[in-house]
Structure 1
Amino acid sequence: MAHVWEVVARSAAAFVIMMVIARILGKSTIAQMTYHDFVAAITLGAITANLAFNVKMNLWELLAALVTFSFIAFILMVISLRSRPLRKWISGQPTIVIQDGKILENNMKKLKITLDTLNQELREKNIFDIEEVQYAILELNGKVSVLRKPDYLPVVHKDLNILSKVKQAFPIELIMDGRWIEDNLQQNSIDKQWLLSQIKMKGKSVHEISYAVMTSNNQLFFDYYEDRIGHPVDKE
């Protein structure tokens, strides 16, 4: 039984330590996963797993290894932020795979990317015809960024000489899970009584609202727990 409790304690400690490390390394490391981020994540994951479950290994030795690899990952991140040449070597650099509508087969071979993979990435961006692509670039995080040819670009207001008179703002979440988001109300000087009156006009109470937000166009949007959808779509 003592063995089980030791595993529980070590697992909890490993989780807390990894949360601290993740906070130190920052969101960009988690999101981008460049070369050194990938190596660090795999290594730290292996060490953390041993820290949690391998009771035969010395706890302090595992902690020393974890701190060392975390320090190395942090130093590499700092170096890549301060030096562009070193950043290219540590993190890699974006690579063009389609230029002027032509596939660069040599770059594809260097990156070990197949046409099937490229087509999948394009389809995820709603591009089913490769003829639409002017440039395609493989980014550091493994995703493909695409610039369409002018003929296939969507029309925007500027193209039609339409000037938007509505000033857009960042959406403000007001209610979530039937509870006020007090910080957002205070920071944006939104009167709770006014909002309550808007809710009453809908014949609802706060506890009946799953989600309420002030949209970017300064309009109130409410989503209720009771959706009143007769036949909801349930696609497995």
Structure 2
Amino acid sequence: MSEHVEIIIRSFLAFSILLIGARFLGKQTISQMNVLDFIIAISIGAITANLSFNLSVKIHHSILAFSIFVAVSILTSYISLKSYRARRWITGNPTVVIENGQILEKNMRKARYNLNELNQLLRERNVFNIEEVLYAIVETNGKINVLKKPEYQDVTKQDVQAPLKKNRLPVELIMDGKVLDKNLKENKIQEEWLSNELEKRNLKHKDVFYAVISATNKLFINTYENQLRHPKDLE
């Protein structure tokens, strides 16, 4: 077999296993990569590239290495799904870089952002004046989300009917059935109050998948057992 023919066959094989691997890795890994996803994507890309044209690398060795990286990605995703602490360690936490119109320099250094990058990302969110920003948060995938101060937000029908309220960030209280004690303490929320709210709904914290206080001080609770009996993907 000539080298050209072998490269063509290996390239088709590399494309096929890459397509299969992408299906196993899931939509989140493809759409929004965190640090771990980035590392795995780079490694998988290098493996498939070598499989295509590096004739000194045996095909079954490349497939084995590819399978290991896909398996590691699936395993870490499963661990992250089951453990809040593991999820924080693997993917990191969002970082607040602007609070109430003030740039937080320490957090900027922590997120490895400079002023030029920050201003560019703010302009992409149609923000040209930092004083308009209530919170700007760098997410774990490197993107920035912005919450404007109430007086600079777009007006909705609800705003016309209601007085202006002072907004703040939502506070997560329960994730994966576990109470986030740190968030309760930092926001001066009594655990007794949370327990009473759960009792009103005939719930225990282990029944709750996610609980959060919104920016308007409304408690949102999502249980493991919800009303969607037959959820399915769009066809």
Structure 1 SS opposite 2:48: helix
The one-letter amino acid paired with 1:75 is L
CA contact (8 A) 2:97 2:137 kept: yes
Give me the whole-angstrom Cα distance separating, in 2, the residues matched to 1:108 and 1:83: 28
2:76 is aligned to: 76
Give me the whole-angstrom Cα distance separating, in 2, the residues matched to 1:118 and 1:97: 9
The one-letter amino acid paired with 1:39 is I
Give me the whole-angstrom Cα distance separating, in 1, the residues matched to 2:52 and 2:90: 30
CA contact (8 A) 1:132 1:149 kept: yes
Structure 1 SS opposite 2:160: coil
Residues 163-210 of structure 1, C-alpha deviation per residue, up to 9 Å, x if partnerless?
Answer: xxxxxxxxxxxxxxxxxxxxxxxxxxxxxxxxxxxxxxxxxxxxxxxx
Structure 1 SS opposite 2:97: strand
Structure 2 SS opposite 1:159: helix
> What TM-score, normalized by structure 1, do the two folds share?
0.66
Give me the whole-angstrom Cα distance separating, in 1, the residues matched to 2:93 and 2:23: 25
> How far did residue 93 of structure 1 move?
1.2
RMSD of aligned C-alpha atoms? Answer: 1.4
1:156 is aligned to: 156
Give me the whole-angstrom Cα distance separating, in 2, the residues matched to 1:132 and 1:155: 15
CA contact (8 A) 1:98 1:104 kept: yes
Residues 74-101 of structure 1, C-alpha deviation per residue, up to 9 Å, x if partnerless?
Answer: 1111111111101111111111111122
Give me the whole-angstrom Cα distance separating, in 2, the residues matched to 1:151 and 1:158: 14
2:53 is aligned to: 53
1:13 is aligned to: 13
Structure 1 residues without counterparts, runs of 5 or longer: 163-236
The one-letter amino acid paired with 1:153 is Q
Larger Rg belongs to: 1
Structure 2 SS opposite 1:160: helix
> What TM-score, normalized by structure 2, do the two folds share?
0.67
Residues 129-165 of structure 1, C-alpha deviation per residue, up to 9 Å, x if partnerless?
Answer: 1111010000011110000011100001222349xxx
Give me the whole-angstrom Cα distance separating, in 2, the residues matched to 1:111 and 1:127: 20
1:41 is aligned to: 41
